[in-house]
Amino acid sequence: MKTLLSEKELYDGVSRIAHDITATYKDQQLTAVGVLTGSIVLLADLIRLMDLPMRVGVVQASSYRGATTSRGELLINAELMLDITGRDVLLVDDIFDTGHTLVEVVKKMKEFGPKSIRSAVLLRKEGRQEVDVLPDFVAFDIPDEFVVGYGLDYEDMYRNLPYLAALEPDDIARHKQNSTAEQLASYQQP
């Protein structure tokens, strides 16, 4: 894997958008809603850096499943989300790629009657946008590579890396080979 952003660079970028968000909302009460599961590390770091009265919740949205690097049907589960009616909401997500997830999650959240919705993302992938909407707060623009770490995953692995890395094709092949070997070994045990 090739490192794209170090721990220090990630901290600096998250600190910068935390400052911008705090300045935007000033003394207003904010409801931060993280998109599971990729945003959990960002959400945790971000809310600790914002000096605002705040409520925190989550919404589940996913379009990538299993050993894929291409998006599938977007599924949104808002049952975990706290009440956002009449609230100023900040939707926190890990990555803005094509933009479809952001558009659909915001559309779903509007059904609950928030006062306002803005969005913050850790990463915006260059040249991938397919929608006319952009996130309100972006920590980093990155090249069009499949990235892991700092909450982002490949087959539910690598989320715990404290830095951001790009998976190379041989990393993906090695991961698939190791997963297959582990699966075979588990079937052979009595």
Environment class of residue 81 by beta-carbon count within 10 Å: exposed (0-12), middle (13-18) or buried (19+)?
A: buried
Q: What is the largest CA-CA distance in the chain?
A: 61
Cα–Cα distance measured from residue 172 to residue 42, given in angstroms and rounded to the nearest whole number: 24
Structure tokens that stand for 73 in this block: 């049907």
Q: Are 146 and 166 in contact (CB under 8 A)?
A: yes
DSSP state of 115: S
For 44-48, 85-89, 163-167, 185-189, which range has the lowest pLDDT when averaged over its residues?
185-189
Share the mean pLDDT of the chain: 88
pLDDT tens-digit series, residues 143-174 = 999 999 999 999 889 999 999 999 988 777 77
Q: Is the pTM of this model over 0.95?
A: no
pLDDT (mean) for 63-91:
75
- Return the pLDDT at 189: 43
51 catalytic? Reply is no
94-150 pLDDT tens trace: 999 999 999 999 998 999 999 999 999 999 999 999 999 999 999 999 999 999 999
d(CA 105, CA 74) in angstroms, rounded, equals 9
Tokens of 97: 């790629």
Nearest of 56, 66, 63 to residue 92 by alpha carbon: 56
Which has more confidence, 36 or 67? 36
The span from the CA of 112 to the CA of 59, in Å, is 13
Q: Of 51, 94, 97, 171, which one is the catalytic site residue?
A: 97
Looking at domain 2-188, which of 3.40.50.2020, 3.30.565.10, 3.40.50.2000, 1.10.10.60 is its CATH number?
3.40.50.2020
Quick one: pLDDT at residue 76? 78
